[in-house]
Amino acid sequence: MNTELLERVRERLAGEGREAALAHGLLAVQLPRDALLDTVRVLKESFGFDLFLDVTAVDWPEREARFDVVFHFYSTRDHVRVRLKTAVTEVDPEVDSLVPLYGSAAFMERECHDMYGIRFRGNADLRPILLYEGFEGHPLRKDYPKDREQPLVRYRE
């Protein structure tokens, strides 16, 4: 692993409310949500993180800012990974969309919207992708019961 490079990224990103630390082989950065798009732009343009791997969320129901939105990036040149994490509240679960920077973000943001109800500002197409039209609620939220079914077809007697 190229720790020297990650160290440089860490120095560049530290400050402005961002906290960065090396953990389990990648650089984990905690940042305020307004800084997201700028940070990703720095990562992509200055450090060559060209592969957008993943976006998902983590639900902490007891916290004020209930959801952590988690992004993973990979540099195909230097073979290192960065994780960005930003917290949003249940009332206003909105972060900036990464679709302008990475095409692959479109589908993954749709999935995250399905599962957690996170809205991505700038992604115009948040139709259900893994779920279906008419599904109410967000199944991966901790308060959604695991076995609450919403059938589309009426059952036989």
Contact footprint for another protein (CB under 8 A): 1, 23-26, 28, 50-54, 56, 58-59, 70, 72, 74, 76, 79, 81, 83, 102-104, 106-108, 111, 115, 125, 127-134, 139-140, 144-156
Smallest separation (angstroms) from another protein to the CB of 100: 11
Tokens of residue 76, six digits: 């195909």
Smallest separation (angstroms) from another protein to the CB of 124: 10
Which CB, 26 or 37, lies closer to another protein?
26
Which CB, 122 or 139, lies closer to another protein?
139
Helix, strand, coil shares of the chain, percent, nearest 5, are 25, 25, 50
Best CA proximity match to 62, nearest among 149, 143, 1: 143
Smallest separation (angstroms) from another protein to the CB of 78: 9
Instruction: Write out the H or E segment, with its range, that includes residue 36.
Output: helix 36-47
Smallest separation (angstroms) from another protein to the CB of 19: 14
Which CB, 78 or 94, lies closer to another protein?
78
Strands 26-30 and 119-121: unpaired
N-to-C CA span, the chain:
60
Task: List helix spans (H) across 61-130.
Answer: 105-116
Tokens of residue 80, six digits: 């290192």
Which CB, 12 or 56, lies closer to another protein?
56
